Amino acid sequence: MVKKLFSLVGAAVSAFSAVSGLKSARRDQDRLALLNAIFSIAVAATGAALVLRDWRKDEDR
């Protein structure tokens, strides 16, 4: 339970950082940084989805 909570918090922090990078990349018009931020957001969202799916499976058991 604690491990899953830390994983979820980690995904949230990663998403926050990626959104910050996205804003910075848009402001600087840096296409490579923009692409990096977009993929970082996708990774954070996928990580959160995996944790939530695992959490729901544990509740069903």
Residue 15: domain span: 2-60
Asked if residues 12 and 49 have their Cβ atoms less than 8 Å apart, the reply is no
Query: What pLDDT digit, counting tens, does each position of 2-53 carry?
Result: 888 999 999 999 999 999 999 999 999 999 999 999 999 999 999 999 999 9
Cα R_g (the chain), whole angstroms: 14
**Quick check: 61 pLDDT over 80?**
no
Token digits of residue 39 = 């993929």
